[in-house]
Structure 1
Amino acid sequence: MAVDQLLTERRGDVLVLTLNRPDRLNAAPPSLFEAITAAVADLDGARAILIQGAGRAFCSGADVGMGALGSEDPGAATHAALTQSYNPAILAIAKAGVPVITAVRGPAAGIGCSLALAADFCIASESAYFLQAFVNIGLVPDGGASWLLPRLVGRARAAEMMLLGERLPAAKALDWGMIHKVVADDALDDTALALATRLAAGPTVALGAIRRGLAAALETDLATALAREADDQRAMRGTADSMEGGMAFLQKRTPAFRGA
């Protein structure tokens, strides 16, 4: 059942989502991504999201079993899985009102690569690697990879990943600017949770507006971005966190944001 495939846990103000199919290197059937969508939609007061994998992998890709290959129309089956299950989860993460962090060890392949890179911060262990292997089986990247990768690393490097279908080690992904940080394997969990906890203690409304602004800036011109910033700044001035931040600055103390 999907509830077993995705473990949910609150650690303070952080919602921790753990892909829980370690025997399959967390290969994700459609139901697992449906569970991610549901969890992101029901934060229940959580102020940051941390996504990780159980065992020695983050996610080795989609696991549709014989759902597509055994279908009379594999193309239609694959299209349905993407549009009804996988893509909604990626969009839910993109539209979340709180910061999202992914902690990657081992493979982040296929849809798992897209999931890892959809976050605001991707932290990888030294054993991690990222893989767009679709070309090796005559398919094309999905899960938003064709949108995410050129924006993260540029067209040439995105082409290298997608057209050659080779593993990209964590150290090289960091050098490319694709991820936030690389840490020792045994430091991954603590490092990712510490960052998520730090973000969860921040001004949640403003952080959500910053996320929306970053996404919008990729698709708009400077004049539109300037107008949006002015509108957002006006809205932020009316928040309790903005008032607290201003008072803390004047009083030379650390602000205590409440996420409102």
Structure 2
Amino acid sequence: MKSTVADEMCTEDLGNVLPSVYKSVRLSVASPPLLHVNASLLLLTDEALSEVFGAVVEDSEEYQTLKVLRKGGITSILFSRPHHANVLDMKMVEELTTALHSARLDPTTRLTVTAATGRVYCGGHKPGLDAASGLQLRDGLHSLVKCVLEFPKPLAALVMGPCVGVLAGLLPLYDVVLAAKGACFQTTVVESGETPCGCCTYTYPRLMGHARAAHMLLLGHELECGEAQRSGLVTEVLPTTAFHHTALSTLHPLTATPPPALSHTKQLMRQPLLNPLTSVHGSAIMTNTTQVISMARYFAAGVKRNSDNAP
């Protein structure tokens, strides 16, 4: 079978594009099911996306890191940086927040889905290289988390492959999380100098208990999909073959439910948690502000030491 550019993207060494603090993620967990699948399963072309989601990719200059499709009451937002393991950078954070706001305001959208092209759902986020870019990213992530926290419509994640960092931390704020067999989950590694965000310091202990949450949040433990389902992080684990087709079929009943019933039910479920979640998120932002400045000073001092010691 002739190799295509898309197939080559499937098999590249993702260890070279993940941020160094996340390279402990066992990417091989995504294989054998994902290493040798064809490009259409990994949604690397617009044709594959249209076939799976039954809609045409929106031709919008607004999105360079995402693919957005709308049909039948479902807005699908796909992370589209497969050659960078879908690592969040500032642009992708901004575009994802914009796409979620658009889905929130769209009267035809009853369900919003996030998924990904390639064999990694998300490989973490790209840290700022100095205080200014670090603070900009912090503000962007703050807006993204707030958007997810206050999202009034059903929100579902279709996770294939590793899900690392901020987006793993956000999953408890979703209403449905469907994972392909072989998916794995890891939050921000604290040894990187950052406090996990996405309210996961509150939601993870509530879901899985303090000991298991501490194993993830403090020690960087990687949760495989079966363990994630038993912990309450994942709703259901589905076969890798035809994963997106099966997931969308599973979610389809939500599009036939009266929207007011969905939004009111979600509001009643979320309301008792809104104040503590908002408080935890605010505290994380304040903590990360201090950490961003401290890390920038640390790296700047390291650069100066290196230049002083240069021959």
Q: TM-score range by the shorter chain?
A: 0.7 to 0.9
Which residue of 76, 96, 102 maps to 1:16? 76
**Offset of 1:5 from its aligned partner?**
0.5
Give 2:205's aligned residue: 150
Q: Are 1:160 and 2:215 counterparts?
A: yes
Q: Are 1:132 and 2:184 counterparts?
A: no
Deviations 1:79-124 (A, max 9, x none): 43122x1222222222222101001111111112124333101111
Q: Secondary structure at the match of 2:182?
A: coil
Give 1:185's aligned residue: 240
Q: TM-score, normalised by structure 1?
A: 0.75
Instruction: Answer yes or no: is the 8 Å Cα contact 1:13–1:200 preserved in 2.
Output: yes
CA distance in 2, matches of 1:119, 1:155: 21
Q: Secondary structure at the match of 2:112?
A: strand
CA distance in 2, matches of 1:32, 1:159: 29
Q: Secondary structure at the match of 2:64?
A: helix
Q: Are 1:113 and 2:168 counterparts?
A: yes
Which residue of 103, 106, 124 maps to 1:61? 124
**Offset of 1:192 from its aligned partner?**
2.2
Q: Secondary structure at the match of 1:130?
A: strand
Q: How many residues align?
A: 212
TM-aligned CA distance change 1:219 to 1:98, over 3 Å: closer
Q: Are 1:6 and 2:66 counterparts?
A: yes
TM-aligned CA distance change 1:14 to 1:79, over 3 Å: same
TM-aligned CA distance change 1:2 to 1:163, over 3 Å: farther
CA distance in 2, matches of 1:31, 1:147: 27
**Offset of 1:4 from its aligned partner?**
2.0
CA distance in 1, matches of 2:198, 2:76: 21
Give 1:36's aligned residue: 96
Q: CA RMSD for the aligned pairs?
A: 1.9
Give 1:50's aligned residue: 113
Instruction: Answer yes or no: is the 8 Å Cα contact 1:104–1:116 preserved in 2.
Output: no
TM-aligned CA distance change 1:96 to 1:184, over 3 Å: same
**Offset of 1:77 from its aligned partner?**
3.7
Give 2:7's aligned residue: none
**Offset of 1:2 from its aligned partner?**
6.2
Identity score, percent: 27
Structure 2 unmatched ranges of 5 or more:
1-60, 276-311
CA distance in 1, matches of 2:207, 2:123: 21
**Offset of 1:199 from its aligned partner?**
0.9
Give 1:25's aligned residue: 85
Q: Secondary structure at the match of 2:156?
A: strand
Deviations 1:116-157 (A, max 9, x none): 333101111111100024224232212322132123222222
**Offset of 1:32 from its aligned partner?**
1.2
Give 1:216's aligned residue: 271
Give 1:240's aligned residue: none
